[in-house]
Chains A and B, each alone.
Chain A
């Protein structure tokens, strides 16, 4: 019976709203845009944050990534000692210390980078040659597409073998299968034994893009290429001496990551006079990203709140006008036996129908928006059901709140005065 009465009241409300179609439509638009923008923004925000988290996750959430960095404070050695090598960065000693003193470290992987011109026949291509150990593959989560990866034997015997990153393989051997072929790096020849799968560029990761790299055994890189590199920058030569460009540490127990990272930082600052290294802890980044997401959500929430507030004010404004306009109808209904509560529910239902219809259309538009953004702007979006349920709920709430005052005002009219109203 109560349900039937509600259905009747809603039907009556819809009829009254349809009396002024344009007005109802325009009022609804305010709600529609508010809800649509909230739903769409949340989906875009969620997508961006998920993309960031995926990228960080790709670095390995139990990894600690160390990288050599040219110290910020440079001696003013402009022209006089051009040939003096600038020595900085992670060292073999660091590597040994980590290997022997970090109990939680499961794997400690060194990486040396050398910039070389790679030649295949007459073709050549500048590329990074990374010298590393077999564990590199485990720590980075990369996979071999074809052939094999570097082995301990390669390292011990200093075999001149190399594994190509996916893009490096494509660039150097656009037509042939690279496995078994010969590649020259500077004056050294390497036999290609494997090709890796594409990894994609992980943001927050440091160093050259791995898909374009050529991988050789650590011992080979050290023996043939040495620690000193020359780089032509502008007109002058830059000579650097770096032992290890990167050390990747994998921690066995996820709970020990942050503590281990702290120990690593302490050990490094003890043994390095200058800040010639960076430490990236993906887990820390992940937590930062989560904190950032919270702020982002807070900002979104405020924007959403403001737009819904504006929508609500619009609705209240229209309902106040409607109540004044329909004073006589209120008088008639009171004379025919309507109690105050009937009048309140009548106008409240009208407002809620208005705001919820706007909310519903807003949710539809807000779900359609991200699909367009994804197709045209190529931005990832994630529409979570709780987002649009919440937005829809808020639109209903705004309807109740903004409708309450006009409805109460209508109900409190004196029936005699209301009937006399022209």
Chain B
């Protein structure tokens, strides 16, 4: 079902010397100050850092919600750093899958309709989108909930809907912003399990978090400090996916 999935190791997102400066009154805040980062197909990356390190700004740039002041950002080989608002919308709609801390489902829509939203903006709503929504709902363990409203679901279930929604457009990578920040530890474990499973199936994942437990599930952790990449740690002792890695090796 993943039409655009690339072979593992191919760079799908590449940041080259990304700066993001905000003008606040008469001084300039350098939120990002020359970030270089490569996301390879099939990888699982955690981005960590204290508040003020530029984490959120980097997330916005990665998600094409914001444009860098300077630098190059290539997604699937295309430079998106200088695209127009409309073109960025297309990139978000076609190549990125968002998962948010507060789930961000649309309350007045049913689960099915929420799942269809990304395809709606691609003009791809219909029998195809419905079938796809059903498949993805089953995949994240939500069968039989398609006609429910978000407020009839638990937090964990809502986040499962959000994950399914993020997969609807076959994105190049999933971008998760504190995906488990609003969940209790048991549910957090479930959601992290879903992400692990997806990664095992070949989905590229980037998580932005300040939770070490979440970061520990990733293959590597990128540490930000003062708008630059301070260090990159490879997680040799991944908690749960070791077995899976062995299996795939």
Q: Residues on A close to B: CB < 8 A?
A: 1, 4-5, 8, 12, 15-16, 18-19, 328-329, 331-342, 415-416, 419
Contact = CB atoms under 8 A, between A and B. Distances in A.
B125 interface: yes
A337 B90 contact: yes
Nearest to B59: A416
A86 B86 CA distance: 92
Of the four ranges (under 10, 10 to 19, 20 to 34, 35 or more), the interface on chain B belongs to: 20 to 34
B66 A340 contact: no
B117 A335 contact: no
A335 B107 contact: no
For the complex, would chain A's binding face be called helix, strand, loop or mixed by DSSP majority?
helix
Contacts of A341: 86
Given A15-B109, A340-B85, A416 B121 contact: no
A339 B92 CA distance: 10
Contacts of B120: 5, 8
A337 B106 contact: no
B117 A333 contact: yes
Given A1-B123, A4-B126, A342-B121, A332 B106 contact: yes
B54 interface: no
B227 interface: no
B49 interface: no
A328 B106 CA distance: 9
B104 A19 contact: no
Given A332-B105, A340-B85, 5 more contacts: A329-B106, A336-B93, A337-B89, A337-B118, A338-B93
A419 B65 contact: yes
B92 A336 contact: yes
A337 B107 contact: no
A294 B156 CA distance: 67
A5 B121 CA distance: 9
Given A19-B108, A332-B104, A4 B92 contact: no
Chain B CB within 10 Å, residue with most, of A333, A335, A338: A335
B69 interface: no
B154 interface: no
A332 B102 CA distance: 11
A340 B87 CA distance: 11
B122 interface: yes
Contacts of A332: 100, 104-106
A338 B169 CA distance: 13
A330 B126 CA distance: 23
Interface string B163-200: 00100010000000000000000000000000000000
B63 interface: yes
A11 to B, nearest CB: 9
Contacts of B219: none
Given A1-B123, A8-B125, A419-B65, A15 B94 contact: no
A99 B163 CA distance: 100
Given A1-B123, A328-B104, A334 B89 contact: yes
B241 interface: no
Contacts of B98: 335-336
Given A5-B123, A19-B108, A336-B117, A416 B85 contact: no
B36 interface: no
Interface in B111-136: 113, 117-118, 120-123, 125-126
Contact of B122 (A19, A337, A419): A337
B116 to A, nearest CB: 9
B108 A15 contact: yes
Contact of A337 (B60, B92, B108): B92
Given A4-B126, A5-B123, A337-B89, A416 B60 contact: yes
Q: What are the 3 tightest A-B residue pairs by CB atom distance, in nearest-first order?
A: A337-B93, A337-B121, A339-B89
Contact of A338 (B60, B89, B165): B89
Contacts of B123: 1, 5
B108 A16 contact: yes
B92 A335 contact: yes
A336 B125 contact: no
A73 B37 CA distance: 107
Interface in B71-112: 85-86, 89-90, 92-94, 98, 100, 104-109
